[in-house]
């Protein structure tokens, strides 16, 4: 899976929105640091968090077991399979939020915003 990622902090700093249509195009033109925006390949079977760590990135997490929401990402395009998610509410799932510590990329490409733990609705879920 080809993963394109973007740090939520950058979105907030620039006044962008997660659901902007051309968010990733805008980000790719913005000359961002590779910690904040870029691409990597996830191997089959890796969780998204593991894949990011394998490629040298330090994304937020705490429990690594689907029990907090520190590792949450917003999936903008593609699919993350996370069947044992007990933390995110249906509303958050509907809005595309997933847990990167248990979510495995299943689509060919994936666009995610990581570091979304401070978004309203997610902050209350952290244990």
Residues near ligand FES (CB under 6 A): 61-64, 66-71, 87, 99, 101
How many Cβ atoms are within 10 Å of 15's Cβ, its own excluded?
A: 6
**Toward ligand FES, which CB reaches closer, 16 or 59?**
59
Cβ 84 to ligand FES shortest distance, Å: 10
39/62 with CB nearer ligand FES: 62
Q: Considering the complex, state which of residue 24 and residue 85 has its C-beta at the smaller distance from ligand FES.
A: 85
For β-strands 72-77 and 109-114, DSSP reports them as: antiparallel
In the complex, the smallest distance separating the C-beta of residue 66 from ligand FES, rounded to whole angstroms, is: 5
Closest to ligand FES by CB, 55 vs 64, is 64
The full length of the chain comes to 127
**Closest separation in Å from C-beta 123 to ligand FES:** 14
- Spatial neighbors of 72 by CB under 8 A, at least 6 apart, are 88, 97, 98, 99, 100, 116, 117, 122
- Say which residue the tokens 């990733």 belong to: 24
Least distance in angstroms from the C-beta of 49 to ligand FES = 7
CA–CA distance, 56 with 50 (Å, rounded to integer) = 10
């Amino acid at each position: 899976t080809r993963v394109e990622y973007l740090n939520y902090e950058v979105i907030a700093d620039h006044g962008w929105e997660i659901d902007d249509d051309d968010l990733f195009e805008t980000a790719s033109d913005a000359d961002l640091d590779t910690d904040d925006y870029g691409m990597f390949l996830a191997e089959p079977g890796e969780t998204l968090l593991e894949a990011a760590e394998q490629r040298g990135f330090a994304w937020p997490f705490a429990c690594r077991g689907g029990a907090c929401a520190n590792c949450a990402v917003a999936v903008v395009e593609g699919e993350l399979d996370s069947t044992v998610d007990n933390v995110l509410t249906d509303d958050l799932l509907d809005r595309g939020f997933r847990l990167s510590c248990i979510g495995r990329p299943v689509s060919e490409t994936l666009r995610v915003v990581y570091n979304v733990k401070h978004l309203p609705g997610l902050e209350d879920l952290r244990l």
